[in-house]
């Protein structure tokens, strides 16, 4: 790890402090590309209760100072009538809900590469929302020697409104993330 | 912050661009914000050892670049009631510490509707300091009427 830049120095929120950030720790237990293929829908065991510090920390992490995502009082006078999460706040929701084992844990695979994503948004995520998710296998394929995997994850708020649907795709290494992708 | 309504928008309209300087602090901070601690982003020693993408450095999260691109749209229209209903992205060139990323958007389609919300399609690019396109994206954005 870089001597000057330590993850610990950037942990702000309760969730960040609680979350296991060592992606090597349970790597042997993550789903592998070879193993993933199931019918049905898996529901995350956890939920994400959206707190003010979560929304603000994400905005800081993407260098976005939009008042809708940073200033509670001003945002309450805006079009969403609440402090609102940046659309890609969904990333932190997704990693939180997946946790570090079980279905979907392949997203933590060391050395996984992001080729591109598709997301549909239906409702904004706002302060006070409680988000849950369901996941299902969508596809896996090999193209130019690289192994792709896609899940479809649907996110719902406490009113059972779907807030987003994400076709999550990664290119996964063959094993342990130690082999070259040969890009 | 700009405000915008569907009737004011025309195809080929350029959105205000944004520029972000990416270094390891930005990448690690983004890791804590997104909870994505893949070592290819946060562990320079491991990144050098495995040399996944050829230069032996960490790389920024694709979702970080995607967030920058998304902010072009949220800066443009969210304070006035705009809303992104769909986004798709493709990451082309890794973003590395030291890169300067400029994100631009242009309206390419305009879809007037009577019974539902009218929307536009915005095509986005993220470009580094060497004028390489590092990522592209397409967003469908509903906009309020005037």
Write out chain B residues lying below 8 Å of A2, CB-based: 24, 43-45
Measured torsion, CA atoms of residues A156, A160, A163, A167, in degrees rounded to the nearest 10 = 50
pLDDT of residue A3: 56
Structural domains counted in chain B: 1
Residues whose CB is less than 8 angstroms from the CB of residue B89 and which lie 6 or more positions away in sequence, other chains included: A116, A117, A118, B62, B66, B69, B135, B136, B137
Q: What is the mean pLDDT of residues B106-134?
A: 96
- How far apart CA A167 and CA A180 sit, in angstroms, is 25
> Could you write out the DSSP letters of every residue in A136-172?
EEEEEEEETTEEEEEEEEEEE-TT--EEEEEEEEEEE
Residue B60 confidence class, pLDDT cut points 50, 70, 90: very high
pLDDT mean across residues, chain A? 92
Q: What is the mean pLDDT of residues B68-87?
A: 97
Whether B1 is covered by a domain: the verdict is no
**CATH, residue B17:** 3.10.129.10
Q: What is the mean pLDDT of residues B22-31?
A: 98
A16 to B87: CB separation less than 8 angstroms, yes or no: no
Contact status of A42 with chain B (Cβ, < 8 Å): no
Q: Which of A20, A45, A22, A50 is nearest to A104 (CA)?
A: A45
pLDDT of residue A180: 46
Residues whose CB is less than 8 angstroms from the CB of residue A21 and which lie 6 or more positions away in sequence, other chains included: A7, B31, B32, B35, B37
Whether A28 is covered by a domain: the verdict is no
Q: Which of A51, A20, A43, A146 is nearest to A102 (CA)?
A: A43
Range of the domain at B66: 6-142
Residue B48 Cα to chain centre, angstroms: 27
In percent, how much of chain B has pLDDT > 70? Answer: 98
Contact status of A87 with chain B (Cβ, < 8 Å): yes
Whether A17 is covered by a domain: the verdict is no
- How far apart CA B21 and CA B23 sit, in angstroms, is 7
Selecting from A2, A84, A87 the residue whose C-beta is nearest the C-beta of B70 gives: A87
Token pair 């942990």 is at which residue?
A11
Range of the domain at A99: 37-172
- How far apart CA B55 and CA B99 sit, in angstroms, is 14
- How far apart CA B139 and CA B119 sit, in angstroms, is 10
Q: How far apart are the first and last CA of chain A?
A: 24
Q: What are phi and psi of A36, to 5 degrees?
A: -75, 120
B39 to A119: CB separation less than 8 angstroms, yes or no: no
- The nearest CA of chain B is from the CA of A147 a distance in Å of 15
Whether A88 is covered by a domain: the verdict is yes
Helix H or strand E encompassing A57? helix A52-61
Residue A182 confidence class, pLDDT cut points 50, 70, 90: very low
**Interface ipTM > 0.85:** yes
Beta bridge partners of A139: A150
pLDDT of residue A39: 80
Mutation site, B2, B24, B32, interface A, largest A CB count within 10 A: B32
Judging by beta carbons within 10 Å of its beta carbon (0-12, 13-18, 19+), is residue A86 exposed, middle or buried?
buried
- How far apart CA B95 and CA B14 sit, in angstroms, is 24
Mutation site, A62, A100, A107, A146, interface B, largest B CB count within 10 A: A62
Residue B24 confidence class, pLDDT cut points 50, 70, 90: very high
Selecting from A23, A60, A84 the residue whose C-beta is nearest the C-beta of B39 gives: A23
Whether A5 is covered by a domain: the verdict is no
- pLDDT for A179 beyond 60: no
- pLDDT for A181 beyond 50: no
- The nearest CA of chain B is from the CA of A110 a distance in Å of 5
Selecting from A16, A115, A183 the residue whose C-beta is nearest the C-beta of B32 gives: A16
Comparing alpha-carbon positions, the chain B residue that sits nearest to A53 is: B33
pLDDT of residue A183: 38
- How far apart CA B100 and CA B90 sit, in angstroms, is 18
Structural domains counted in chain A: 1
Question: Cβ(B34)–Cβ(A91) under 8 Å?
Answer: yes
Token pair 């946790």 is at which residue?
A99
Whether A30 is covered by a domain: the verdict is no
pLDDT of residue B3: 64
pLDDT of residue B78: 97
Mutation site, A80, A114, A133, A150, interface B, largest B CB count within 10 A: A114
- What are the tens digits of pLDDT across the range A64-123? 999 999 999 999 999 999 999 999 999 999 999 998 888 899 999 999 999 999 999 999
Write out chain B residues lying below 8 Å of A146, CB-based: none
Residue A177 confidence class, pLDDT cut points 50, 70, 90: very low
Whether A91 is covered by a domain: the verdict is yes
Whether B85 is covered by a domain: the verdict is yes
- How far apart CA B15 and CA A150 sit, in angstroms, is 31
């Amino acid at each position: 790890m870089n001597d000057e830049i330590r993850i610990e120095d950037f942990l702000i929120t309760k969730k960040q402090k609680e979350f296991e950030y060592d992606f090597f720790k349970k790597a042997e237990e993550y789903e592998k590309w070879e193993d993933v293929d199931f019918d049905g829908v898996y529901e995350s065991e956890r939920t994400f209760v959206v707190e003010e510090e979560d929304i603000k920390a994400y905005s800081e992490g993407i260098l976005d100072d939009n008042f809708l995502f940073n200033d509670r009082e001003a945002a309450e006078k805006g079009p969403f009538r609440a402090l609102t999460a940046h659309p890609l706040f969904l990333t932190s929701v997704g990693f939180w809900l997946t946790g570090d084992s079980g279905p979907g844990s392949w997203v933590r695979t060391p050395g996984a590469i992001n080729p591109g994503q598709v997301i549909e948004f239906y409702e904004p995520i706002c302060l006070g929302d409680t988000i849950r998710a369901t996941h299902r296998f969508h596809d896996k394929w090999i193209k130019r020697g690289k192994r792709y995997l896609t899940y479809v994850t649907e996110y719902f708020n406490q009113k059972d409104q779907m807030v987003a649907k994400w076709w999550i795709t990664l290119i996964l290494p063959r094993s342990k993330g130690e082999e070259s992708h040969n890009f | 912050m700009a405000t915008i309504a569907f009737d004011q928008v025309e195809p080929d309209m350029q959105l205000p661009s944004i520029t972000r300087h990416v270094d390891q602090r930005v990448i690690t901070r983004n890791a804590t914000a997104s909870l994505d601690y893949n070592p290819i982003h946060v562990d320079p020693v491991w990144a050098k050892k495995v040399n996944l993408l050829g230069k032996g450095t960490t790389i920024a999260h694709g979702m970080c670049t995607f967030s920058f691109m998304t902010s072009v749209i949220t800066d443009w229209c969210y304070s006035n009631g705009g809303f992104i209903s769909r986004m798709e992205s493709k990451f082309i060139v890794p973003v590395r510490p030291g890169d300067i990323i400029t994100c631009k958007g242009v309206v390419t389609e305009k879809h007037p509707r009577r019974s539902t919300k009218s929307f536009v399609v915005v095509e986005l690019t993220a470009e580094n300091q060497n004028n390489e396109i590092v990522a592209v994206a397409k967003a469908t954005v509903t906009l309020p009427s005037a």
